[in-house]
Amino acid sequence: MKTVKLYDENAYLDKFSATVVSCEKAENGYALILDKTAFFPEEGGQLCDTGLINGAAVNYVKEENGIITHFVEKAFSVGQTVEGFIDFPRRFSFMQNHSGEHIVSGIVFKKYGFNNVGFHLNEQFATVDFDGILTREMLNAVEESANRAVFENREIKAYYPSERELETIDYRSKKEIEGPLRIVDITGVDVCACCAPHVARTGEIGMIKLLDFTKMRGGTRVILKCGRYALLDYQNKYENISDISVLLSADRDSAAQAVHNLWDKFEKTKQTINELTRKLIENTVETKKDTYCFYEKDYNMKQLQMLTDGLHKTHGGTRAALSGGGDSLNFCLCGEEAELESIFAEFKKAFDVRGGGRGGMMQGSVSAKAADVIKFFEERLK
C-alpha cells in the first residue's frame, strides 16, 4: 500500500497522526513505514524533512515505489497510532527556496531559453544548473524580474491534473515522470512538474538573491538564497562590512574603495620589500664566499634561486639555500650538473625530499628540521 502524502494536501501541516504499517531494524535505528505522513522524503534535489515521531528523532526519510520510509531512533508496534511533528521552520525555509528557484528557472527559460537541468537544496543554499551560459548582467536582470514576481504576491498552485488537463498544459520538467504528475503553477511566471512542498503565494518567499555563478560543462551553475536564507546571508555580510569599515576608518558604503586603496599600498610595500631583498641577496652573494648553505625563514622559491645561482656563478661550488620552518622546508641547490646530481642523490637518501630539476639547479621541499639539513650540506659542500 502506497503511503498517503499529507504534504501534497497541505504543505503547511506540521503535525499529524498516523498508523504504523511496519517497523524493522535498520543499520542506524529503525525503518518505520506509516499509512500516511507529512514528512517529505529526499527527492527532486531537496533534502528530506526532519522532526519527531512520538518523541523519536526522524533522521532521514526516503521514498521507493510510492512507499515512504522514516528512519527513527526507536521501534514502534504495527498498528500503533503515532504523532508526527515536522521541523517546520526548516521545512518553510526549504519551501521559500524551492519556490524561489522555480521563479528563477521560469524566468531564465522565458528570457534566454535555457533549461534547468540540475537542482540541489540544502540547509545553506540552493544551486541550479542551466544548459546555457549566463553572465552577471543576465543574472541581474533575472534577479530583478524574480523579486518583482515576489513583490506582486502571485498565487502558487500545486495540483495533480487529469490526463486530459495535462495534455493542454505547457510545463517544464527535467526528466520523464512515470505515474501521476504534480504541477506547480506560479501565476504568469512558471509552470513546472515538481514533487516538493511550496509556499502558497510568492510574497512568502520574502526575497530572492542570486549570489554567485560558475561556468560548467557548457552551462552555468547559479547559487541562490531565498527568504530566511537570504536574510541570514545579508545579516552576516552586513556585520562583516561593518567590521571592515571600522578597521579601515571608512563608511560602510565606501569600504570596498578603502580596501582597494589598502591593497594598492600593500602592493607598493611588497615591491619595496622585494627590491630591498634583491639588494640584500646581491650583497650576500658578494660577501659570503665561504658560506655554502644559507637559511632564510621567509624567502620564497624565486629568492632562493637568486641566492644560490648568484653564489654559484660568483664563487663556484655547489650552493644550497633553505626557507620555511618547523619540519617543512623549501630548498634550492645550484652547481655544476655532475656534482649537483651526486649531492642531490645523497640528499634524497638522507631525507624525505620532493622535487627535482635540471640545468644545474634543483629545487623542492624537504620534511626535516633546518639545523639537520644545514649540517648535511655543510659536511658535503665545503
Taking 70 as the threshold, does the pLDDT of residue 149 lie above it? yes
Extract the C-alpha cell encoding 204.
512568502
Which residues, 6+ apart, have CB-to-CB distance to 266 below 8 Å?
A: none
Q: What is the dihedral of CA 244, 249, 251, 253, to 10 degrees?
A: -40
Q: Are residues 302 and 229 in the same domain?
A: no
CA distance from start to end of the chain: 86
Same domain, 192 and 316: no
- Which stretch of DSSP H or E encloses residue 66? none
In a shared domain, residues 130 and 15: no
* Residues 164 and 46 placed together within one structural domain of the fold: no
In the prediction, which pLDDT does 20 show? Answer: 96
What percent of the chain is modeled with pLDDT above 90?
Answer: 85
60-69 mean pLDDT: 95
Which amino acid is residue 366, in one-letter code? V
CATH number of 51's domain: 2.40.30.130
To the nearest whole number, what is the mean pLDDT of the chain?
Answer: 94
Q: What confidence score (pLDDT) does residue 325 get? A: 84
Same domain, 224 and 112: yes
**Same-domain pairing of 112 and 69:** no
pLDDT band at 178 (very low <50, low <70, confident <90, very high): low
For 203, other C-beta atoms within 10 Å of its C-beta total 13
- Residue 79 domain-assigned (yes or no): yes
Dihedral (CA of 326, 327, 329, 334) sign: positive
Number of domains composing the chain: 4
pLDDT in tens, 122-147: 999 999 999 999 999 999 999 999 99
pTM for this structure?
0.79
- What is the extent of the structural domain holding 343? 288-381
Residue 37 counted as domain residue: yes
Per-residue pLDDT, averaged over 328-334, amounts to 94
> Same domain, yes or no, for 164 and 227?
yes
Same domain, 224 and 297: no
Residue at 242 is within a domain: no
- Who's near 267: CB < 8 A, 6+ residues apart? none
The answer to whether residues 300 and 170 belong to one domain is no
CATH number of the domain that 184 lies in?
A: 3.30.980.10
Beta partners for residue 60, in sequence order: 71
pLDDT in tens, 345-373: 999 999 999 999 888 999 999 999 999 99
Quick one: 301 exposed, middle or buried, by C-beta within 10 A (0-12, 13-18, 19+)?
middle
Together in a domain, 223 and 143:
yes
In a domain, 174, yes or no: yes
Q: Is residue 243 part of a domain?
A: no
76 and 169: one domain? Answer: no
Predicted confidence at residue 148, as pLDDT, reads 98
Question: Of 137, 153, 265, 257, which Cα lies nearest the Cα of 203?
Answer: 153
- Looking at per-residue pLDDT, the higher value among 313 and 382 belongs to 313
3-state SS assignment for residue 70: strand
pLDDT tens per residue, range 31-50: 999 999 999 999 989 999 99
Q: Which residues pair with 128 in a beta bridge?
A: 119, 222
Higher pLDDT residue, 153 or 178? 153
Query: 254 and 361 share a domain?
Result: no
Is position 80 within any domain? yes
